Amino acid sequence: MGEQVSNAAKKNAQKRPKGIKKASAPESRTALVRRARRINRELAEVYPYAHPELDFRNPFELLVATVLSAQTTDLRVNQTTPALFAKYPTPEDLAAAVPEELEEVIRPTGFFRAKARSLIGLSTALRDDFGGEVPGRLADLVTLPGVGRKTANVVLGNAFGVPGVTVDTHFGRLVRRWKWTAEEDPEKVEAEVCALFPKSDWTMLSHRVIFHGRRICHARKPACGACPIAPLCPAYGEGETDPEKAKKLLKYEKGGYPGQRLAPPPDYPGRPAAPLATADPEGDPGAAAGTTGA
Ligand code: SF4
């Protein structure tokens, strides 16, 4: 087994793209900051259209969609929220929902009983404590039922323009692969990554890293051979290095599949996702599985 591993490592080392250096000495803080910012710049070129992948039209819809996105894909949430917001367009409507009826509407997102409790609870708090408006402060948002720091940062960054780093499963995995941090705890990851970048970069950095995690740097099979930031990545070789095989692993617009949003921004180069009833018409990997971690 040990020999197999070392043979694989040798093979990968031989295929290392030009520019990739094997780490010899520990990276200095200055070199780390430079490399991290270069990765961000490269990702900005690869994903100039990076955006939040939940469909929303106002802060309330984004808050609700983000709560629903726990343990499922953004795609599944986007396929569920049109019916939800048609039936319950405001916090007042959702606060007054009959739990069983709400559960039926959000059932496709999984954990629907707990999520229904959170939605009714947070809508009641919005109605009673915040005048029916979503507050634009982290300290207020985290007092709402079912709303943690991650959800609060998503809402602040994308509905209020307050810079924030969103540490989800993709973000944590990638920044550890890139050795920006060794931390596992999302709050510590957030603090260490924030310290590498100016505040103005935080929100878009989060979108780009999550885009890269969903499309190329997957959890189980990163497509290293098709990765534009391979020369900057200490984890190059963890995944498929053969360019042709790696290309076949690409997802969403990079792999020719629909995206996660039913209503993507106008500059999105891929196709919109299909509504729930007609989902997965062309083998979209995220649509069928429901919980691909995508
Ligand atoms: S080289 Fe591989 S591990 Fe590194 S970012 Fe690219 S896909 Fe991920």
Query: How many Cα atoms are found within 13 Å in the side-chain-facing hemisphere of 254?
Result: 22
**Please, what is the average pLDDT of the chain?**
90
Active-site amino acid positions: 150, 168
* Residue 197 CB neighbour total at 10 angstroms: 18
Kindly tell me if the per-residue pLDDT of 18 is higher than 80.
no
Q: Write down the pLDDT at residue 40.
A: 98
Q: Where along the chain do its domains lie?
A: 59-159
217 is in an annotated binding site: yes
Q: Give pLDDT, residue 276.
A: 86
User: Confidence band (pLDDT; 50, 70, 90) for 19?
Assistant: low
Tell the residue nearest (CA) to atom 2 of ligand 1.
224
Which protein residues are within 6 Å of ligand 1, measured from CB?
177, 216-217, 222-224, 227, 229-230, 233, 235-236, 238-239
pLDDT surpasses 70 at 291 = no
Position 7 scores a pLDDT of 43
CA distance 89 to 84: 8
pLDDT tens digits for range 225-234? 999 999 999 9
Residues 103-158: pLDDT tens digits? 999 999 999 999 999 999 999 999 999 999 999 999 999 999 989 999 999 999 99
| Domain 59-159 annotated CATH 2.60.40.650 | no
% residues pLDDT > 70 (the chain): 86
Q: How confident is the model at residue 15 (pLDDT cuts 50, 70, 90)?
A: low
pLDDT bin (cut points 50, 70, 90) of residue 42 is very high
Binding residue per annotation — 233?
Answer: yes
pLDDT of 205-219, one tens digit each? 999 999 999 999 999
pLDDT band at 12 (very low <50, low <70, confident <90, very high): very low
**pLDDT beyond 50 at 283:** no
Distance 234 CA to ligand 1 centre (A): 8
pTM of whole model > 0.75? Answer: yes
pLDDT band at 277 (very low <50, low <70, confident <90, very high): confident
Residue partners of 293: CB distance under 8 A and separation at least 6: 73, 169, 170, 219
| pLDDT computed for residue 128 by the predictor | 98
Confidence of residue 223 (pLDDT cuts 50, 70, 90): very high
Q: Which atom of ligand 1 is nearest to the CA of 177?
A: 3
Question: Which range (3-7, 49-53, 72-76, 180-184) has the least confidence?
Answer: 3-7
Q: Alpha-carbon distance 167 to 189, whole Å?
A: 7
The response to whether 224 counts as a known ligand-binding position is yes
Residue 172 has pLDDT above 70, yes or no: yes
- Say which range, 51-55, 125-129, 130-134, 281-285, has the weakest mean pLDDT: 281-285
Which range (65-79, 172-186, 277-291) has the least confidence?
A: 277-291
Indicate the burial class of 246 (C-beta count within 10 angstroms; 0-12, 13-18, 19 or more).
buried
For every residue of the chain, which 3-state class applies, written as one string?
A: CHHHHHHHHHHHHHHCCCCCCCCCCCCCHHHHHHHHHHHHHHHHHHCCCCCCCCCCCCHHHHHHHHHHCCCCCHHHHHHHHHHHHHHCCCHHHHHCCCHHHHHHHHHHHCCHHHHHHHHHHHHHHHHHHCCCCCCCCHHHHCCCCCCCHHHHHHHHHHHCCCCCCCCCHHHHHHHHHCCCCCCCCHHHHHHHHHCCCCHHHHHHHHHHHHHHHHHCCCCCCCCHHHCCCHHHCCCCCCCCCCHHHHHCCCCHHHHCCCCCCCCCCCCCCCCCCCCHHHCCCCCCHHHHHCCCCC
